[in-house]
Amino acid sequence: MGNLLEIKNLSIEYVTDERTNKAVNNLNLKIREGETLGFVGETGAGKTTTALGIMRLVPSPPGRIVSGEIIFEGENLLEKTEKEMREIRGNKISMIFQDPMTSLNPIMTVGEQIEEVIKLHEDLPKDELRKRAEAMLETVGIRKERFDDYPHEFSGGMKQRVVIAMGLACNPKLIIADEPTTALDVTIQAQVLELMKELKVKFNTSMLLITHDLGVVAETCDYVAIMYAGSVLEYGNVERIYNNPLHPYTVGLFNSIPSLDEDKDKLDVIPGTPPDPANLPTGCKFHPRCSKCMEICKQKMPEPIEVEEGHYVSCFLYDKDVKEGR
Amino acid sequence: MAEANAIAKGKKENKSNSQLMGVWIRLKKNRLAIFGLVILILLILMAIFADILAPYGYDEQNLQNTFQTPNLEHPFGTDEFGRDILSRIIYGSRISLQVGIIAVGIAVIIGGFLGAVAGYFSGKVDNIIMRCMDVLLSIPQMLLAISIVAALGNSLANLMIAVGVSSIPQYARIVRASVISIKNQEFVESAKATGSNDLRIIFKHVIPNCLAPVIVQATLGIGLAILTAAGLSFIGLGIKPPTPEWGAMLSGGRMYIRDYPHLTLFPGIAIVVTIFAFNVLGDGLRDALDPKLKQ
- In this prediction, what percent of chain B has a pLDDT beyond 70? 92
- Between strands A223-228 and A206-211, the pairing is unpaired
Is B73 contained in some domain? no
Residues of A in contact with B187 (CB under 8 A): 102-106
Number of continuous H segments (helices) and E segments (strands) in chain B = 15, 0
Say if A55 is an interface residue toward chain B (CB within 8 Å). Answer: yes
Nearest to A210 by CA among A230, A195, A224, A231: A224
Residue type for position B264? T
Read off the CATH number of the domain in which B132 is found. Answer: 1.10.3720.10
Could you tell me the pTM of the whole model? 0.76
- For chain B, how many structural domains are there in total? 1
Contact A21, A14 (CB under 8 A): yes
Residues of A in contact with B197 (CB under 8 A): 86
Nearest to A250 by CA among A51, A44, A40, A47: A40
Question: What pLDDT does residue A323 have?
Answer: 67
Nearest to B175 by CA among B236, B129, B229, B243: B129
- Is B189 close to A107, i.e. CB distance below 8 A? no
Residue in A88, A104, A150 closest to B187 by CB? A104
Chain A, nearest residue to B195 by Cα = A86
- In this prediction, what percent of chain A has a pLDDT beyond 70? 98
Question: What pLDDT does residue B36 have?
Answer: 92
Question: What pLDDT does residue A1 have?
Answer: 53
Question: What pLDDT does residue B291 have?
Answer: 56
Say if A112 is an interface residue toward chain B (CB within 8 Å). Answer: no
Indicate whether B105 pLDDT > 90. Answer: yes
Question: What pLDDT does residue A324 have?
Answer: 66
Mean pLDDT for A251-261 is: 83
Q: What stretches of chain B adopt beta strand conformation (E)?
A: none
Chain B, nearest residue to A104 by Cα = B187
Rounded to whole angstroms, the Cα distance separating A254 from B128 reads 54
- Is A104 close to B190, i.e. CB distance below 8 A? yes
Is B7 contained in some domain? no
Residue type for position B100? G
- Is A148 close to B209, i.e. CB distance below 8 A? no
- pLDDT tens readout for residues A48-73: 889 889 988 888 778 888 888 898 88
Q: Shortest Cα distance from B212 to chain A (angstroms)?
A: 12
- Is B192 close to A106, i.e. CB distance below 8 A? no
- Is B19 close to A99, i.e. CB distance below 8 A? no
- pLDDT tens readout for residues B62-94: 778 778 778 878 888 888 888 888 888 898 888
Helix%, strand%, coil% for chain A, nearest 5 = 35, 25, 40
Mean pLDDT for B2-7 is: 48
Nearest to B100 by CA among B218, B281, B225, B214: B225
Chain B, nearest residue to A51 by Cα = B193
DSSP 8-class letter at A98: S
Chain A, nearest residue to B211 by Cα = A107
Residue in B18, B195, B204 closest to A91 by CB? B195
- Is B190 close to A89, i.e. CB distance below 8 A? no
Say if A86 is an interface residue toward chain B (CB within 8 Å). Answer: yes
Chain A, nearest residue to B198 by Cα = A86
ipTM over 0.85: no
Domain membership of residue B94 as a residue range:
78-293
Mean pLDDT for A255-264 is: 79
Cis peptide before A248 (omega within 30 of 0): no
Nearest to A46 by CA among A193, A215, A178, A222: A178
Residues 148-167 of A with CB under 8 A from B: 148-150, 153, 163, 166
- Is A150 close to B18, i.e. CB distance below 8 A? yes
Residues of B in contact with A89 (CB under 8 A): 192-195
Question: What pLDDT does residue B15 have?
Answer: 46
Buried/exposed B251-273: b ≥16 CB within 10 Å, e otherwise: bbbeebeeebebbbbbbbebbee
Per-chain mean pLDDT for chain B: 83
Contact B262, B249 (CB under 8 A): no
Instruction: Please state the domain extents for chain A.
Output: 3-92+172-323
Cis peptide before A275 (omega within 30 of 0): no
- Is A107 close to B204, i.e. CB distance below 8 A? no
Is B254 contained in some domain? yes
- Is B16 close to A95, i.e. CB distance below 8 A? no
- Is B187 close to A106, i.e. CB distance below 8 A? yes
- Is B190 close to A150, i.e. CB distance below 8 A? no
Residues of B in contact with A149 (CB under 8 A): 15
Cis peptide before A151 (omega within 30 of 0): no
For domain A3-92+172-323, the CATH class is alpha beta
Report CA dihedral (B166, B171, B172, B178) to the nearest 10 degrees. 170
Is B137 contained in some domain? yes
Residue in A103, A116, A166 closest to B186 by CB? A103
Say if A137 is an interface residue toward chain B (CB within 8 Å). Answer: no
Contacting residues for B174 by C-beta, under 8 A, at least 6 apart: B115, B213, B214, B217
Q: How confident is the model at residue B258 (pLDDT cuts 50, 70, 90)?
A: confident
Indicate whether B3 pLDDT > 80. Answer: no
Is B120 contained in some domain? yes
- pLDDT tens readout for residues B12-42: 444 445 567 777 888 888 889 999 999 999 9
Q: Shortest Cα distance from B190 to chain A (angstroms)?
A: 6
Say if A168 is an interface residue toward chain B (CB within 8 Å). Answer: no
